[in-house]
Chains A and B, each alone.
Chain A
């Protein structure tokens, strides 16, 4: 394709205020909001805007991102009060002139919008399978042995929104329980009881308050609350 020249019809832009929670341990501490103003076109996502702000206005802005299409799960943050992926959130669709950005809750904070994912993986074994059998394609009788990556992109949105995680920090949280339940379905019958026992500890599935917020914010349709309900049924026999 030709080099984009930026010529042609001027595209419509809206002026948006980004109120971003800033934090640098020992320097901007406690955290405070800082406002950046940016002209935003119809297609720009919150992540596109963060990239622009860092490039043009403040190179010290810290946030997580990698794939820009909801595969890596790194860019989840709280956008106007809701856990979302910055890469999938179009600014115009938020229908506000001020966009407020804060880091996920329930995690140690590295700086600005970046959180430390160590806690997220505390109850998720490194070796648990990330692949699953793919669904048959439209028009095919079976999947033909195809494998695909799990829906969960480990973004942490469900942990951040979970009231039980906020109230009882030892709670394993929705992502770990969903991962555990997925793993149960991929292991042998002999290994299943041990996994179920692991989910049934006091800080496991019994601590879930059935708020269902995890399923509501999950950007990739994992529905962690369903996995937790299944684990509960299995425990109660």
Chain B
């Protein structure tokens, strides 16, 4: 079978899993630790899809489908406690009907509950709440939700190489035939040949594409997150209004994570956490759960989302969270290179499946994907299979 080399240890893990199940030989290289770029670094929401029903119904439907699949195939690191969308003022209330209709249209089981019931479930909720809708959100440990893909891929024969940075693409004629890497574990450079190279570098995908002198519509969109010490809610608490800054609080262990802000950046490495963003997240978080006001930040961090750019002038909150993959042979007449862009942690399995379908078409293979029903190995299996 063909040798596929995947660049990027985020969503690339799900692709390595999918491709090994289909019988391909797979090598994955990641410049740092696995899941250290974007996929391990988000606020930990297992999306029900409800956040997207008002402006991105396709992403909403996709999230709900993948939410159910992840609960089946990788249940170990999910806190399955559902979520609330809460209206705090008259403007929020005006979104209640379209929100419920959008959830129904996307097949998301959303149900309005009384404010009294919401307060009983989340006693710290703003008592001025005007309405509450319960949705099947969940919390995840971002690292431990994604690691099972790597554990399973590795057990099925994929070679996973963290700390291994791509420095150039090997090219022969118009085709990409492999990569040059520097293995930072040893300091040695080497060439790895491949029948196909997959650029799954997330917000860094543009850098890899440049190595083949092609452009991809990637828009890095960093955002800030703040965690506070104290578990203020078991359910995810969302503001019932169109997606915007500071509209969510995600519990995890004994922390509450306030998310998030967003801006558009040219450089995925410039992920600062401006003080104004931190203050804004604390202020908006306290509107949902007033106890936030009395808590100090536990950690502040930021990460670059890898958005699929459709219009350079767009508002970062309303850019579609869907994903796409490109065959550069079709797009740019560069054979041997595929790029996947966009998406989010909740939909990583689907991104991988769609990309693997494209790789099968490209290589003339007719092999169905099996990741939908294949239960993944526990995350600890990533290391434990090396136990003698």
Contact = CB atoms under 8 A, between A and B. Distances in A.
A118 to B, nearest CB: 5
Given A27-B187, A137-B124, A148-B253, A66 B34 contact: yes
A68 interface: yes
B335 to A, nearest CB: 30
A4 B185 contact: no
A137 B144 CA distance: 25
B309 interface: no
B255 A138 contact: no
A88 B297 CA distance: 11
B378 A126 contact: yes
A137 B263 CA distance: 34
B142 A67 contact: yes
A134 B301 CA distance: 26
Contacts of A191: none
B383 A121 contact: yes
Given A87-B299, A144-B121, A149 B77 contact: yes
B12 to A, nearest CB: 14
- Which of B182, B252, B265, B277 is the most central at the interface, judged by chain A CB atoms within 10 Å of its CB? B252
A147 B163 contact: no
B205 to A, nearest CB: 18
Contacts of A130: 76-77, 141, 144
B231 A66 contact: no
Interface string B270-299: 001111110010000000000100000011
Contacts, number: 186
A71 B76 CA distance: 14
Interface in B143-194: 143-144, 163, 165, 182, 184-188
A65 B257 contact: no
Contacts of A59: 165, 184
B35 interface: yes
Contact of A66 (B33, B254, B261): B33
B33 to A, nearest CB: 5
Contact of A148 (B234, B298, B301): B234
A66 B186 contact: no
A30 interface: no
B128 interface: no
A2 to B, nearest CB: 7
B234 A62 contact: no
Interface in B107-156: 120-124, 141-144
B299 A64 contact: no
Contacts of A116: 383
Contact of B378 (A127, A140, A143, A150): A127
B81 A220 contact: no
Contacts of A131: 76, 79
Given A69-B301, A146-B81, A137 B143 contact: no
Contacts of A55: 269
For the side of the interface on B, what is the size category? 35 or more
Contacts of B262: 1
Interface in A161-196: none
Given A3-B265, A72-B141, A138-B124, A126 B381 contact: yes
Contacts of B186: 24-27, 111
Nearest to B32: A65
Interface in B363-388: 377-381, 383-384, 386-387
Contact of B298 (A70, A135, A139): A70
Interface stretch (B36-44, B61-69, B349-357): B36-44
Nearest to A112: B184
Given A24-B186, A26-B186, A72-B141, A220 B253 contact: yes
Contacts of B144: 72, 130
Interface of B: 32-36, 40-41, 44, 76-77, 79-81, 120-124, 141-144, 163, 165, 182, 184-188, 225, 227, 231-235, 245, 251-255, 257, 261-265, 269, 272-277, 280, 291, 298-301, 303, 377-381, 383-384, 386-387
16 contacts: A1-B261, A1-B274, A3-B264, A24-B184, A55-B269, A60-B182, A60-B187, A66-B142, A69-B255, A88-B298, A117-B383, A121-B387, A131-B79, A135-B231, A138-B123, A147-B80
Given A60-B182, A74-B36, 11 more contacts: A2-B263, A3-B265, A70-B227, A111-B185, A111-B186, A121-B383, A122-B387, A140-B123, A148-B81, A148-B252, A148-B253
